[in-house]
Structure 1
């Protein structure tokens, strides 16, 4: 079949502008319009073949602006022919990067081959994809540039396995760009986090110890450190520890499971930590502590609290934390936790005077931090 059928859908004017447009801009706009129609139109197999022929022609055009119009318009389309995608991937970076960063038509093997044979811009584009398999991550870590590995390290959609973490550390342990980028991930293996402690910048270390779990003993040691670099706030660790029971036991062994820590954790919304702390201090299984803490009646919480040996003046505050948690059904998101903390502080500080001054100051200062960190998100919502 010729292009007759496609002309009916794309109009002869589109084809004419693409082939004979007077300026690169006019031809690029025609290419963009054709690509949009090809992607949005239901085509028969014969029509699709004709459409692909047009896309092949655009991909071979001598004008960069025309080829870029194709790459940008169809960068996320499943209808981009494989042959066209591969041609675009081999083109200059301004054309290849949009396709490599978003196109679903590439296989992992094809992406690995591109990583091994192409330059930093294309490697970085692949590392920034919404989903990057462990195979592809492994290739980036082994063959990629410092910048490409840094972009991949910060990408939560990149699947780092143990080997990739180790390889990245071996190649780039002296690179603050790469090491600091790992801190942006939502989670990190404990062993790798421990390695990062001595490699990241001071600013990144501050974020690392707040966002990521540390081995319990290391957390205690850093919390007790007096060096200039960041020390660990054990309250932050109470919110991210992957093995809460072990973390709490380690705190108890080191004499750090204090009334102040339990209270502060409760006011930060780390209720799982409070449950395990009560279980440890009260010498009862966690399951029993959980039932008593979350007992709808007036006696269960008081019974387990009395077993812990915590100062009685703290009971109203922790009781309020639990009641507030139940009343608002806190979302397990950063925004949900900030909402919980604000509401809890308002309720707690107006109902009793039992919270020590230093804990009040701590809780209020952390609320101020929440307000600052929440500003960008609020601005985006307002916009």
Structure 2
């Protein structure tokens, strides 16, 4: 009934009307609200719409059922083989399609449909391998940029082999976090070969030199990758090098002379069939018969044995602390020992080996110079930064001095007694003392019996005692320093802190101000002042009191 009504309604309708009706019928079927018989008729009607000549109708079917698991499989498979803009809708999303369907679409489709398959979130390794085998650069770039795609190492290597010259593909591969170490080495090798061909085509280098440059760059890349690879990654790298026929004697010699002993151990174990632990034990005894047997079993040339033995001897002595060398210096010492060991060999046979060792020595010297220059540059930069920091502090303080007025805080090291202001000699002499300034108290001392006969005698004695007491105090102060009674005045200057120091508003800079010594008052001025301050009647009364005390006694 549904099929008959649908065909009747859409028989004479426009393509837009038929597309709208196809989408409505598809959504009704996928919702599962139809009865079994009605669902069968709706499914039949949807399959009949595949023959509709209007692409808009088939596109409406694909859009409605692309992401549904309830979509009829015959309908999805048929839509996957439709024209690219319709097929891509279901190839990119439909969960109904199996790996066999996707592989068939990859093999028979175009780059647009392959790119749609490459972007699926559940892409499996078989489908990725099919894409790597037949896909072009655009679809492989889409595959490499899909972080959820499961891509095997073989498929990745095949991608590099087929379209590794595409810079966009190389960049997409290197951006993957799960890129195997073998693929990274293959990309570096490919780039080295491209640069070598570029130099040869431009006439910059000869073909022989270009081949040697590419080979050395490939070996250097293998050594660099071995530094960051673990045991499993190192074993995969060595196996890859052997399959690619790049595990050569020159690479093993370079690994030994550049202190990449783990790579040399794994390489010798791979070539000889022995365990790595056994190889490591034989390397510690390079002059023994076991190491010579290992050398022959690995297929290395006999001409290389003296150089390897000499280099490993230097390395063993360094490990035992006999020569105290490490790093680039140790590598250069090993190369020099290898060169010395080759001097006894026939020149015609050892010429190539000597040239190779000479290049290794030059590379090691340049690496050592680079490291030393880098260290010196870091030290110089650190010294310049420290000097700038030291110079910035005084400049900041001076800027604060000029930016804000200074404030003087006086702090005393002890209690300070205000000094009496002594009268000026010109003002105190020869003027007489005013009556209100005279001292009227009776002066009595312990020596009451020794009364002076005249005022001049008393004044002379008082002046001598004053000067003696002053000189004694001055000598004691000079002998004991400022802490023996003389308070040193500390002047502390409070300055506003500039912007570089936000945690404090001011800094206190201690400034010790040494007070100048006061010149001693002349004796004549002291006597004049004393004579002017003591009245005559006081002297007479003092004499009378002394006389009465003597008579009473």
- The alignment's TM-score, normalised by the length of structure 2, stands at 0.34
- The alignment's TM-score, normalised by the length of structure 1, stands at 0.48
Larger Rg: 2
